[in-house]
């Protein structure tokens, strides 16, 4: 039963924790990008490209966590069945 509780906590809390840190990092990147566009508007194209790139790279870390969430979510049912049978 502790196993089921731990697994439910992991499946439920893993993704939001990753999202919190990723959102902080993406917010910092966006703030710096907007300040530098305000300082130098003729470089806006380059800065926009670098911003999109950084946001997607940080996003991909959250996607890795989403992947593990999807893998674990399918296992919740069999785990609960297995514990219910004992």
Partner 1 sequence: MHERHGTVLNVFLNLLPAPAHAFVDEMVLNSWAVIVLLMVLAWLGTRRRLRVPRGLQTAWEMYYTFVRDFCVAEIGPGAEKYVPLLATIFLYILVLNLFGLVPGFLTPTMSLNTTVPLAIIVLVAVQYYGFREHGIRYLKHFTGDVWWLAPLMVVIEVIGQVAKALSLSVRLFGNMFGEETAISRMAALGALAFSVSYVPVPAHFINILLHLIIGPIQAFIFFMLSAAYIQTATRHEEDAEHGDQTESVQAPQGAAA
* Interface positions with partner 1 (CB under 8 A): 52-53, 56-57, 59-60, 63-64, 66-67, 70
Whose Cβ is closer to partner 1: residue 34's or residue 71's? 71
Separation of alpha carbons 28 and 56, rounded Å: 14
Whose Cβ is closer to partner 1: residue 36's or residue 54's? 54
Whose Cβ is closer to partner 1: residue 2's or residue 42's? 42
Question: Quick one: which H or E segment has residue 21?
Answer: helix 2-39
CB 18 within 8 A of CB 65: yes
Both tokens of 42, joined, read 């003729």
CB of 44 to partner 1, least distance (A): 17
């Amino acid at each position: 039963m502790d196993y089921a509780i731990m697994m439910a906590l992991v499946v439920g809390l893993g993704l939001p924790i990753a999202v919190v840190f990723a959102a902080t990092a993406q917010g910092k990147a966006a703030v710096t990008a907007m300040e530098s566009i305000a300082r130098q508007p003729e470089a806006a194209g380059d800065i926009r490209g670098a911003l999109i790139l950084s946001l997607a790279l940080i996003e991909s870390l959250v996607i890795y966590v989403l992947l593990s969430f999807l893998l674990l979510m399918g296992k919740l049912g069999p785990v609960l069945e297995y514990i219910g049978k004992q």
